[in-house]
């Protein structure tokens, strides 16, 4: 079966000279579907099936549980805002459909824009499509608000791929994390769409204009209403629902930045924050699922545990220092509760460990991760305009990662030079009397 499929694909392969763009698209699919037909050089000739594409696929696989949960949570948070189906599993079919209707366009726009640029550059350069956007394209939807306008998303993806990667030479040459660059572009270019309370809950700004439906997706929900009604299940209804009185949509992190931990616990329990049934970016909320993904990456050796561990230590050290200072309610939040809020674990597992933009030496990874945790906590707590810190801290340390590696390597060279000099001294001392006797 596999050989037949391989033969069929070879028969429909476009001519590289006559149709270079079609051949580029064909090559991207072919190399994604099949392992490399190569052997290592030497006497063993072991075929190596783990190329960069397959490494990237491992990261994408680790993100799938976050996609599933994040999609469902979009719908859950929407219905909670309307005061309906407030139990997590109540109205599950409605929540999943609502989340899919929001999530699928975000995913499609991200990949159409990003892969379109990748295909264009591969076609112009005459080489295969690079693998890096497999991960960037999977990460970008998860770090965006569920109600982000699609045109802003497209502009941010184009900026990140063009300026953040292709301008530096493509995959493996970029100095900044591409996914984070897309988010930071939205934050600085369109701050009202990624800050505040309402941006984290899909549809509440349009609740008065048509409830569940709004203007764009009424027909889609109508189709599902017909299906659910025929099965005797609850339906979306006629729309026109309003957000319940007193509902703010604030994230735990936003509440903590204004009123400390007491303000957070008035709206959310630690269980809700742990399991992720709270507002926030699509993929950052469920801490156990993120930890499962992190362990998967460590076990498969796709991500380095040194960066994760040292990042946790850096955040703990700075958190303890801020707790000791205690000048504001946010500083008084116990350090361990910072792991319940915001995107620390997601940034630790999937952003800081990017092998292209992180430090590459073992010691450098420890330093790099520690500084991200340390600096990120400073930005989160001491910057009133941005009660989060990991995005800026990671991008900041991306810039310094080569410098960290340089000093680590230089220190290793100096230590080896000193050991060599120390080893040569006894030999020189022993040779000195023999040389003197020979001269005599």
pLDDT tens digits, 211-241: 455 555 667 888 898 899 999 999 888 666 7
**47 DSSP β-pair partners:** 39
At 40, the pLDDT band (50, 70, 90 cuts) reads: low
pLDDT exceeds 90 at position 428: no
State the average pLDDT for the chain.
Answer: 85
Contact (CB, 8 A) for 371 and 349: no
In angstroms, the CA 31 to CA 11 distance is 15
CA distances, 374 to each of 131, 236, 325, 361, 377 (Å):
31, 46, 15, 20, 6
Chain-centroid distance of CA 144 in Å reads: 10
Lowest-confidence pick of 12-21, 111-120, 163-172, 295-304: 12-21
Lowest-confidence pick of 247-251, 355-359, 436-440: 436-440
Q: Would you say the C-alpha torsion 430, 431, 436, 438 has a positive or negative sign?
A: positive
In angstroms, the CA 436 to CA 424 distance is 19
**Residues of the chain with pLDDT > 90: what percent?**
56
Here the contacts of 89-96 (C-beta below 8 Å, separation 24 or greater) are 91/234, 93/228, 93/233, 93/234, 94/228, 94/234, 94/235, 94/236, 96/71, 96/72
What average pLDDT score do residues 125-137 get? 74
Sequence-distant (6+) residues with CB within 8 A of 238 are: 211
CA distances, 204 to each of 7, 78, 208, 211, 352 (Å):
52, 7, 8, 8, 33
Determine the pLDDT at residue 149.
92
- Locate 299 and state its tokens: 């076990």
> How buried is 44 (Cβ within 10 angstroms: 0-12 exposed, 13-18 middle, 19+ buried)?
exposed
Determine the pLDDT at residue 210.
47
**pLDDT tens-digit profile of 148-161?**
999 999 999 999 99
User: Taking Cα atoms as reference points, which of 420, 424, 403 lies closest to residue 359?
Assistant: 403
In angstroms, the CA 249 to CA 381 distance is 21
pLDDT exceeds 80 at position 398: yes
In angstroms, the CA 103 to CA 282 distance is 9
DSSP labels, 175-227:
SS-HHHHHHHHHHHHSGGGTSSSGGGSTTGGGHHHHTTTTTTSHHHHHHHHHH
CA distances, 279 to each of 75, 126, 231, 234 (Å):
11, 44, 31, 24
Query: What are the domain boundaries of the chain?
Result: 18-36+51-196+198-244, 284-413
**Residue 56 or residue 15, greater confidence:** 56
- Locate 280 and state its tokens: 């926030």
- Locate 55 and state its tokens: 């490494």
pTM of the model: 0.86
End-to-end CA distance of the chain: 85
Name the helix (H) or strand (E) containing 22: helix 20-33
**pLDDT tens-digit profile of 16-35?**
666 665 666 666 666 656 65
């Amino acid at each position: 079966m596999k050989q037949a499929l391989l033969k069929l694909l070879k028969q429909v392969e476009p001519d590289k000279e006559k149709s270079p763009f079609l051949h580029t698209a064909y090559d991207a699919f072919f190399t994604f579907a099949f392992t490399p037909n190569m052997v290592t050089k030497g006497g063993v000739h072991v075929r190596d099936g783990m190329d960069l594409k397959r490494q990237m696929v491992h990261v994408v696989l680790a993100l799938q549980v976050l996609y599933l949960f994040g999609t469902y949570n979009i719908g859950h948070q929407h219905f909670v805002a309307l005061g309906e189906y407030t139990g997590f599993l109540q109205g599950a079919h409605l929540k999943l459909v609502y989340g899919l209707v929001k999530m699928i366009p975000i995913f499609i726009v991200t990949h159409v824009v990003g892969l379109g640029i990748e295909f264009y550059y591969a076609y112009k350069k005459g080489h295969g499509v690079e693998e890096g956007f497999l991960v960037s394209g999977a990460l970008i939807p998860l770090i965006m608000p569920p109600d982000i306008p699609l045109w802003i998303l497209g502009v941010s993806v184009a900026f990140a791929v063009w300026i953040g990667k292709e301008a530096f030479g493509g995959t493996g040459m970029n100095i900044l994390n591409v996914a984070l660059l897309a988010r930071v572009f939205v934050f600085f270019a369109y701050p009202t769409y990624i800050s505040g309370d309402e941006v984290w809950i899909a549809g509440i700004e349009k609740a008065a204009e048509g409830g569940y439906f709004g203007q764009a997706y009424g027909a889609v929900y109508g189709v599902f209403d017909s299906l659910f009604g025929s099965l005797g299940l609850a339906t979306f209804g006629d729309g026109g629902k309003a957000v319940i009185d007193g509902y703010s949509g604030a994230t735990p992190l936003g509440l903590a930045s204004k009123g400390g931990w007491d303000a957070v616990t008035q709206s959310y329990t630690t269980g809700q924050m742990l399991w992720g049934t709270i507002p926030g970016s699509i993929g950052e909320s469920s801490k156990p699922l993120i930890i499962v993904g992190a362990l998967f990456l460590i076990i498969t050796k796709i991500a380095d545990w040194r960066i994760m561990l040292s990042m946790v230590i850096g955040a703990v050290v700075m958190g303890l220092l801020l707790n000791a200072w205690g000048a504001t309610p946010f500083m008084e939040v116990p350090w361990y509760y910072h792991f319940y809020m915001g995107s620390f674990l997601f940034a630790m597992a999937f952003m800081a460990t990017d092998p292209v933009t992180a430090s590459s030496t073992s010691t450098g990874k420890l330093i790099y991760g520690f500084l991200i945790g340390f600096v990120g906590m400073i930005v989160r707590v001491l910057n009133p305009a941005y009660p989060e810190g990991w995005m800026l801290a990671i991008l900041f340390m991306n810039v310094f990662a080569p410098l960290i590696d340089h000093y680590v390597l230089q220190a290793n060279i100096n230590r080896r030079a000193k050991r060599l000099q120390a080893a040569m001294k006894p030999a020189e001392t022993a040779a000195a009397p023999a040389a003197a006797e020979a001269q005599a």
